[in-house]
A and B are shown apart, each in its own frame.
Chain A
Amino acid sequence: MTLNMLLSHLPALQVVVPLLAAPLCALLRPRHLAWAVATLTSWVCLLISLTLVAQVQAGGTLRYTFGGWPSPWGIEYVVDLLGAYVLLIVSLIAALVLPYARRSVEREIDPEHHSLFYTALLLCLCGLLGIVITGDAFNLFVFLEISSLSTYTLISFGRDRRALTASYQYLIMGTIGATFFLIGVGLLYVLTGTLNMADLAERIVPLAESRTLHTAFAFILVGVSLKLALFPLHLWLPNAYAHAPSVVSAFIASTATKVAVYVVVRFIFSLFGYRFAFDQMQLDWVLLPLAIIGIFTASVVAVFQENVKRMLAYSSLAQIGYMMLGISLDSVTGLTASLLHLFNHALMKGALFMALGAVFYRIGSVQLGQMAGLGRQMPWTLGAVVAGGLSLIGVPLTVGFISKWYLILAVIEQGWWILAALVLVTSLIALVYMWRVVETSYFQPRPAGAVIAGEAPLSLIAPTWLLVLANLYFGIDTGFTIDLAGSAAAALIGGEP
């Protein structure tokens, strides 16, 4: 098989490589071997994603049909700008989380479960990549289930017994979400007789008045909103993030909700069409208030959390609100801001959760009180927390600033000054909750009798700081991300039939 042929099969390999590496991991009993396979797989995935981005930028949308069945009948994988961009986010985070995982997993998970842990992690990666790359609505549901089921397992690996309840809670909510999504897809299938997204998009145009179509739209949107934890469907998220193993928190916080946001964007803009969604279904009247309430309440609740992971989980809810706010503005700038924030938020939350994982590695807790005085004992780890926090707040020269800047631009473009003020105020609330961590860890003495924590091992610090540096780099040289997000947004809104 020549290189050129290999390149033409990349869309399939993007999903097939982790899918086949996962059972391989389950067969490998020596746990370091399982880790090595998983890490190698994640790097191969990153390489494939980077190549796909380059291919799409050079030659436009890629299509890959499975089994030689032509597209409306067979399953088709489609990589357009948006898809390539989200694939890159997911595999980039995976490629950084897995080298980090070895030491952290050794500390937090029973040795006999290591192989299965990496199997579940790879399946989750496979599911997330599959959701993004597939061009088939039912296939998307299958991948949604693959990623969700493996996520429930991953969360239940948490050291704390509360991880089991958190996982169960997520299982119930997630299953309801997936069922709603499937009902919606079923209705679309009844209506049009096709599951291929591009085909669906064409066939539903004359059906805009159909009640069935409206119902399908509502079911799909509610189902995915459960998955992306849109206020008020967010109740599963804080527990899931807080009690999952550190590696899992870092991975799912920076990928799973992003992929769910991608699904919303894909269905609104590529499938239903944004004119249908916003003009006929008045989606902005639903999304906008929910996004605003979500941003505000989650930010305020975050201030009062004692568990820092839970605090960041609430902060994630607020960030999801920003993304939905951008989408509900129904403009190219707004969508650009949302897509930009997908990438940027993955960088900042990845860095923060990984730094907290390093704290947990040393002191076995992420309670705020236990972290008092850690700043001097773990300078690099807490340094990463501070840098990630600055990015979260949106200080200039970080990616957070770029996201907020574009979001505020988009809001002002609509003439909604109050909303722009709200974004600034909630950034200040982020400052409050991040400051609590900084204040406790730097300006309070280490409690008497507390363990003296050394710096975390290099294999934890290095990936964390790589993400921190990415936070700074993409905050200064914004060309790559803005170009990708901007042209993806323009293609989505301009590409309307």
Chain B
Amino acid sequence: MIKSDSKPRQVVRPVITRLLMPYILLFGLYVQFHGDFGPGGGFQAGVIFASGIILYALTFGVARARSLLPPDSLQPLAALGVLLYGAVGVASLFMDGHFLNYSVLSSDPVQGQHLGILLIELGVGITVTAVMVLVFFAFFGRDEEGEV
């Protein structure tokens, strides 16, 4: 751990973080939305996305990361992801299919499968990102205001 007073001497880490972070987040989104064509999916994407935010927290301090993503908003996000997943399943129930049968979601079954898996993986991605960051914050302690 580097004390906060040594911050001015830190050059490499902030620069590299600023350079890499957009690509990490972008790659997270790529893995998220490319998951139905190639390797990837919501879980991996969520972990990559969260690792970008964790890198930010390690470089610029947990306090700034907390103001970027307040834990109070992460908890509902974690719940919303699961609800999105479930809602797709319930929607397919109402459209005369079995639970999570994506084919009925659209008039064209292939389209339906695409739409279904995209939404489901989005739900997974949101929840995994939120939970990963929450776990990271939790390990840093609830009340700590100081920097890394």
In the complex, which residues of chain B have a beta carbon less than 8 angstroms from the beta carbon of A22? 82
User: Is A66's beta carbon under 8 Å from chain B?
Assistant: yes
A26 touches B79 (CB 8 A): yes
* Known A9-B93, A26-B75, A27-B76: A19·B86 in contact at CB below 8 Å: yes
B89 touches A24 (CB 8 A): no
Pick the residue among B76, B79, B99, B103 that contacts A12 (CB under 8 A).
B99
The contact size tier of chain B is 20 to 34
Select from chain B the residue with minimum beta-carbon distance to A23: B79
**Considering the chains assembled together, what is the distance between the CA atoms of A66 and B102 in angstroms?**
10
* Known A67-B98, A67-B101, A67-B102: A12·B93 in contact at CB below 8 Å: yes
How many A-B Cβ pairs are below 8 Å? 56
B78 to chain A, nearest CB (A): 8
In the complex, which residues of chain B have a beta carbon less than 8 angstroms from the beta carbon of A27? 76, 79-80, 83
Q: Is the interface of B mostly helix, strand, loop or mixed?
A: helix
User: Is A20's beta carbon under 8 Å from chain B?
Assistant: yes
Select from chain B the residue with minimum beta-carbon distance to A19: B86
Pick the residue among A1, A23, A24, A67 that contacts B99 (CB under 8 A).
A67
Q: Is the interface of A mostly helix, strand, loop or mixed?
A: helix
B101 touches A68 (CB 8 A): yes
In the complex, which residues of chain B have a beta carbon less than 8 angstroms from the beta carbon of A1? 93-94, 96
In the complex, which residues of chain B have a beta carbon less than 8 angstroms from the beta carbon of A65? 98
A345 to chain B, nearest CB (A): 33
Select from chain A the residue with minimum beta-carbon distance to B87: A20
Question: Which of A23, A26, A66 counts the most B-chain CB atoms under 10 A from its CB?
Answer: A23
Q: Which of A1-26 contact B (CB under 8 A)?
A: 1, 5, 9, 12, 16, 19-20, 22-24, 26
User: Is B90's beta carbon under 8 Å from chain A?
Assistant: yes
Residue ranges of A at the interface with B (Cβ–Cβ < 8 Å):
1, 5, 9, 12, 16, 19-20, 22-24, 26-27, 64-68, 119
7 closest Cβ pairs, A-B complex = A23-B79, A68-B101, A12-B99, A20-B86, A67-B100, A26-B79, A23-B82
Residue ranges of B at the interface with A (Cβ–Cβ < 8 Å):
75-76, 78-80, 82-83, 86-87, 89-90, 93-94, 96-103
